Amino acid sequence: MRIAIVAIGKLKQGPERELAERYRERFDDIGRKLGFRGLEIHEIPESRARDAPARIAEEGAAMAALIHDKSSIIALDERGDSIESPVFAQHLGRWRDDAVPAAVFLIGGADGLSPELRRKAKLRLAFGKATWPHQMVRVMLLEQVYRAATILSGHPYHRV
């Protein structure tokens, strides 16, 4: 199974980008042994439309164009569910075992995700009730993807 993150906005050079890349590399090392075919990150420029609904629609269309059929969509949404890391790992493991071709994580822009993409999501995930900058969300998501791989492999990174 392929894992992809589709995010509005770009991570600039700096500590967030370095940390994101570190977790991505760690996942690649362990993920291949678990049947994951790598982790792709697609950065979509923020829409320049004048109003929020138009920005959401434009960004949503750009995101939807990168989602292949039969993929499991996971929307990062402040109104989503806060789940424990082992439960997150179970979702990834089940999708992999069910031969889902890809798990695609969506990180929206400042105005959020399109309602259509939120409806299509198999899982709506929140990192607590706080609102986080998209740069931090990406780093936290990559850490959780790496943590899920370590849980699935029995690696001691995740301790209860």
Whether the pLDDT of residue 144 is over 90: the answer is yes
Residue type, 3: I
Whether residue 159 has pLDDT greater than 80? no
pLDDT digits (tens, 9 = 90+) for 107-117: 999 999 999 99
Euclidean distance between CA atoms 107 and 5, whole angstroms: 8
Q: Among residues 101, 136, 98, 109, which one has the least CA distance to residue 48?
A: 109
Cα–Cα distance measured from residue 115 to residue 95, given in angstroms and rounded to the nearest whole number: 23
Q: For residue 52, what is the domain's CATH number? A: 3.40.1280.10
Domain membership flag for residue 8: yes
Query: Does residue 160 surpass a pLDDT of 80?
Result: no
Q: How many CB atoms lie within 10 A of CB 23?
A: 20
User: Is the pLDDT confidence value at 131 over 90?
Assistant: no
Nearest to 118 by CA among 78, 62, 146, 83: 78
Structural domain includes residue 159: no
> pTM of the predicted model, to two decimals?
0.94
Report if residue 131 sits inside a domain: yes
In a domain, 160, yes or no: no
Q: Report if residue 158 sits inside a domain.
A: no
pLDDT score for 129: 85
Q: Strand order in 2-8's β-sheet?
A: 39-44, 2-8, 102-107, 72-81, 123-125
Q: Average pLDDT of 62-83?
A: 94
Q: Does some domain include residue 143?
A: yes
Q: How many CA atoms lie within 13 A of 131 on its CB side?
A: 5
Domain range for 93 is 2-153
- The answer to the question of residue 70 being in a domain is yes
Question: Taking a C-beta distance cutoff of 8 angstroms, is the pair 49, 58 a contact?
Answer: yes
In a domain, residue 86? The reply is yes
Domain count, the chain: 1
